[in-house]
Amino acid sequence: MKTGKFDLTTFVRRSKLYVPANREKFVAKAWMRGADSIMLDLEDAIAPADKKSARKMIKDDIAIVTKGGADVQVRINSEYVEEDLDAVILPGLTAIMIPKCASADDIRHIDELVTELEGERGLPVGRIQFDLLFESAKGIIHVEEIAASSPRIVSINTGQADLSVDLGFTRYKELNYDQYFYPESKLLYAARAAGVQPHGLGAQRNVDFVNISMNRDEMLKACRYAYNLGFMGTFMIHPGWVEAANEGYTPPQHEVLLARRIKEALDQAYARGEGSVSVDGRMYDVANMKYINYLLARADAIEQKDRQKAAALAAAGGTA
């Protein structure tokens, strides 16, 4: 599925690892974690008094975190949009994450600012992407319009922590599904309608997404659950979750192998003038072929992304 220059199917950003832009120790190791994208944070991870100094570190941070082949994003502050954009629209930047999205006009305004800065700095106009974060009832109510407000948008997410504050409830893992089912479901459908990727872990029962002691298997289970709902990646605060996210949002190998068998059988059936075929006792037809083609294209794109990251890591002398 394509929207302008953006191909939803082959675009791979399963894991987005948050790294505070001013924590040099974390930045120095981030490129070795294997994340598809590294999110340099200028927002919640940075104390108000440190915002200005953190902006000055972005240029050097970008040069470091790109070494492992990851995309580079920066999460900006909704209160300091112009100051942050002036500091981060640089060569090597892939995308900005825009928090607290509540208005399509706001996104269009940021698009205009980025376009102006790209032109002034000799960067390809339109290349820097937008990753949107919805953290309020107003944002969720208008998510369909906002998700389609700029061709730069490639993915959208909910921010459950701030959303709970806006909605006035305390987060409990026992209530996670009930509290977030509506916003997560609405975001999922809005993303697909707009032709962008839905990201996040969705609404799940008895999962504490801010518990950094969550082990790999627990995180893998949560990511696989979200993948089966239609989500295509997620952000994370712990580097130990990267591998689980990459696996969790990758089509399972047994499904890929079966899809290849079905595709071969259907191709042979079409050549005989038949529109359906039986594989392992199940019937498959044209409708199935559409999903099979999507699944195989997705799997191939992920394999290519992993090869690119492995080559970059090897060239830089790092290990995941």
Tell me the two tokens of residue 174. 């026992």
Alpha-carbon span 143 to 70, nearest angstrom: 28
286, exposed or middle or buried, with CB in 10 Å at 0-12, 13-18, 19+? exposed
Exposure on the CB side of residue 26, measured as CA atoms within 13 A: 17
Residues 78 and 135: beta-carbon distance below 8 Å: no
CA distance 223 to 16: 13
- Specify the amino acid at residue 6: F
| C-alpha dihedral (43, 48, 51, 54), degrees to nearest 10 | -80
| CA gap 54, 66 in Å, rounded | 18
* DSSP code at position 33: S
Tell me what pLDDT residue 209 has. Answer: 73
3-state secondary structure 62-108: HHHHHHHCCEEEEECCHHHHHHHHHHHCCCCCCEEEECCCCCHHHHH
CB–CB of 69/318 below 8 Å? no
Measured between alpha carbons, how far is 155 from 259 in angstroms, rounded to an integer?
26
First to last CA, the chain: 31
Q: What is the mean pLDDT of the chain?
A: 94
The Cα–Cα gap between 218 and 146 comes to 33
Rounded distance, CA 309 to CA 161, Å? 31
Query: What's the pLDDT score for residue 319?
Result: 60
Phi-psi sector, 96: left (phi>0), alpha (psi -120 to 50), beta: beta
pLDDT score at 3: 42
- pLDDT tens figures, 73-121: 999 999 999 999 999 999 999 999 999 999 999 999 999 999 999 999 9
Positions of the chain with pLDDT lower than 70, given as ranges: 1-5, 319-320
- The residue whose two tokens read 């080559």 is 311
Any residues with CB less than 8 A from the CB of 29 and at least 6 apart, and which? 239
Predicted model pTM: 0.94
Q: Please give the radius of gyration of the chain, using alpha carbons only, rounded to the nearest integer.
A: 20
DSSP 171-218: --GGGHHHHHHHHHHHHHHHHHHHTSEE-S--S-TT--TT-TT--HHH
CB 66 within 8 A of CB 31: yes
pLDDT at residue 317, as a whole number: 85
Top-level class of domain 2-248: alpha beta
Backbone angles phi, psi at 275, to 5 degrees: -100, 0
| Tens digit of each residue's pLDDT (9 = 90 or more) over 52-68 | 999 999 999 999 999 99
Pairing of strands 153-158, 129-134: parallel
